[in-house]
A and B are shown apart, each in its own frame.
Chain A
Amino acid sequence: MTNIGGTLKELFGGKKSKITVIIAIIFFVLGPILGFTLAKIPMQVVTGKVVEGGSLSNVTLAYAFPFNVQYEQSCIIEFTARYNGTPIRLIIVGQGAYNTGVENGLSPDNIAWRNFMVSTFSRAVTPGSSYSIESSVVCTGDDTFYIEFMGDGTITGTDRIWSEPGSYVIIVYVSAGTDAGVFDLKVYLEGPGEIINNIFIIIGLCLILSLLGVVAAILIKRFLEV
């Protein structure tokens, strides 16, 4: 027993082994932290923003936020209106369509809308029954919408969205009446958090496995010496 203990202490107690274990632990700890932190990259946080009443007739008066999405990347939007009797609508349009609308002073209603996914987090139903594909959301009360956008989607057949990389614009405007409205908007882009988390954990595992491999090789070599 003393020999085994001594051997293990000799194999694992070295400076290189300790450094390897410490680095592996750092990777194991940093992986989930960075993964969680970089899962969603905040792009825009707007609180108590006022949108003008005339924005229904002219898109230049509406609130607009341009952004880009890459292949298989989601844009996550949390939209809330502080209802004061004015319904507020959120739509997403292509950058080109938006530019045309601005040049011609079009109503946001007359610009081609893109489809996105709205999730409603209800435990009463399965996740597959608690989402919908929409081309716009309207806050007629103090509603909050959780939106995922990847480029476009459809409600024909299976409700779904898909990846279409490109430049898009989020437009928020008053959908009826002439009074101004107030809203909150948070825009996030899906970050590389999960990939970083997986890479860090794999590196940590490789370090531990390589250490164990070296120790096992030394033990087997000693063991096989007749």
Chain B
Amino acid sequence: MGMEDTSIKKSDLSKSKKDNFYDGLLKMDKERATKFIVKGLIIAIIFGTIMLISASIAAGSGDFSNLATEYNEQMYWNGAYGYQTFLQKSHEINFVRLWMIYQQFIVVNISRLGVNIGLVIITLGFIGFATNDNLDSRTRLAALIIAGVVLSIVMFTSFFTQINVTLN
């Protein structure tokens, strides 16, 4: 009997914590909602920057290869090593170049997850504004619209890889 009481109490406690968490999301004060937006922005910016750096490294792989090949040739002509070693180093340069391209697939996918998490946090922040009774109705409506737009971006980037905007 005592055991059952304990288990009931634990499950009740857990349920109560979950309810508090979800209630807290909808009943956020202004300060907490702002913190959510700022934190989400910073997380999205950090992961977005990582994504851009990764893409930049992949785009620069050809230039790296040209520079390293030129250096390899200079070292060969200087007599630092023979043609067999030159060939070996050429293969190593190509190997690094291919890794510089391939890392993009790993880093960008991880970063995309981070950006989406950041955007979800931003959405929660704006939902917090939209459900705040202390704000005027226009501000709440604007916050709700922004939350919807950000959520749409998250959904599109999650399900359709990317969004393309074409201006004519």
Q: Assess whether A223 is in contact with B42, with CB atoms less than 8 Å apart.
A: yes
A27 to chain B, nearest CB (A): 20
| Given A223-B39, A224-B39, A150 and B84 contact (CB-CB distance below 8 Å) | yes
Contacts of A130 in B (CB 8 A): 83
Cα distance, A119 to B83, chains bound together (Å): 6
- Which residues of chain A from 129 to 176 have a CB within 8 Å of any chain B CB? 130-131, 146-148, 150, 161
Q: Tell me which residues across on chain A come within 8 A of B76, comparing CB atoms.
A: 119, 121, 127
Residues of chain B in range 1-51 having any CB-CB distance to chain A below 8 Å:
32, 35, 39, 42
B interface size (C-beta, 8 A): 15
Cα distance A123–B77 when bound, in Å? 6
| Residue of A with least CB distance to B90 | A127
Main SS of chain A's interface residues?
Answer: mixed
Cα–Cα, bound, A150→B42 (Å): 56
The closest CB in chain B to the CB of A132 belongs to: B83
The reply to whether B83 and A117 contact each other, CB–CB distance below 8 Å, is: yes
Chosen A-B contacts, 20 in total, with CB atoms closer than 8 Å, are: A74-B84, A76-B81, A117-B83, A117-B84, A119-B82, A121-B79, A122-B77, A123-B77, A127-B73, A127-B76, A130-B83, A131-B83, A146-B79, A146-B82, A148-B83, A148-B84, A148-B85, A150-B84, A223-B39, A226-B35
